[in-house]
Amino acid sequence: MRTSDSLRKTYGETLVELGKENKAIVMLEADLGNSTMSALFGAAYPERYFQMGIAEQNMASVAAGLSLAGKVPFINSFAVFATGRAYDQIRSSVAIANLNVKICGSSAGLSDFGDGKTHQSIDDIALMQVLPNMTVLSPCDAVETEKMTKAMVESKGPVYLRINRNDLPVVTDPNAEYHIGKMTEMVKGKDVVVFATGIMVQQSMEAAKILEKEGISLRVVNVSTIKPLDVKALEGYCEGVKGVVTAEEHSIFGGLGSAVCAVLSKKRLPIEVLGVNDSFGTSAENYSILLKHYGLESEDVAKKVRSVLAAN
């Protein structure tokens, strides 16, 4: 099992490993291969690596064609460009046709801290989860990224994978089985449940420690498959709690929070949605500054938890 903390490096290495046996896997890249780490695949299997240049729209539809020819194409770019620049190509060429195209949105959320708002994705989950047929995955660490990448190759149909640019501590169990569509309880608790995705899983686990000192028991659930959402499990984790918090490094509109609220709309439970509050990003000298500025730290999760409890 991988020890690296880098999600993107793990993604690239895993595909190199899978590509050895599975000759149907092909990679398409829009000139960001050294960041998305698709370049690792290119070095290993140059004939199955398609450098598409800075032309994401063409890349998405070419991937559709490769899929129609029986290949398992992965398209790679930063999350903003992979989803936004090629949105209609993904919608029409890929999703309507329900083709076996895998989309890797790298440098997702605010993780490309230096490059600023044009390069930071606060809308990619929204764009992808609104599409019928699309599966939306958001790993919280490298271990989960490896399992997800393998599961993507096994799965049929379009999948969007959202990857953080920065190294993150491993928090998931390397020995645990992984299935697309399953959510995992990371911390047991009974007062409030937080449904978190991506880096907000780690932040929520820290929040649980803060709240424990205050006598508040927080359950933390890692929702790494945002779509299809495991509704049964979601409702199950809400049983007995006094409130619900969702946490994501994404706009509060159209992401995990929206999806969870849609499921829980009939429950009489206070819900707080934590995310980027209807704002684009900005440049910063490091990731931490942005997480603090946009209210995505463990203390921000803790505040939301106190808030839902106060609403009781």
Partner 1 sequence: MKYSQEQVTELKRKAIQVRANILEMIPPGKVGHLGGSSSIADVMAALYFHTMTVNPSDPKDPKRDRLIMSKGHAVLVQYACLVELGYFGREELAKVKTFKGMLQGHPDMDKTPGIEAVTGSLGQGLSIALGLALGFRLDKLPNRVYAILGDGELAEGQIWEAIMAAHGFKANNLTAIVDFNGIQATSTTKEIFPIENLAQKWGSFGWNVIEIDGHDMVQVLDALEAAKAFTEGPSVILAHTVKGKCFPFAEGKAKYHNAAMTEEEYKIAWSCIENMKREVEA
Catalytic residues: 56
* Min separation Cβ 92 and partner 1, Å: 4
Buried b (16+ CB within 10 A) or exposed e, 98-114: ebbbbbbbbbbbbbbbe
Chain-centroid distance of CA 39 in Å reads 21
Cα–Cα distance, 142 to 159 (Å, whole number) = 18
Closer to partner 1 by CB, 93 or 129: give it: 93
* Min separation Cβ 103 and partner 1, Å: 14
* Min separation Cβ 253 and partner 1, Å: 25
**Cis status of the peptide bond prior to 228, with omega within 30 of 0:** yes
> Could you tell me the two tokens for 161?
């994978």
Chain-centroid distance of CA 73 in Å reads 19
* Min separation Cβ 89 and partner 1, Å: 6
Q: Dihedral of CA 107/113/117/121: which sign?
A: positive
* Min separation Cβ 27 and partner 1, Å: 12
The widest CA-to-CA distance across the chain, in whole angstroms, is 60
H helices, E strands: number in the chain: 13, 12
Closest of 140, 129, 87, 105 to residue 32, by C-alpha: 105
- Is residue 192 a contact partner of residue 214, using CB atoms and an 8 Å limit? no
Residues binding partner 1 (CB under 8 A): 26, 47-48, 50, 52-53, 55, 57-58, 60-71, 73, 88-89, 91-93, 96-98
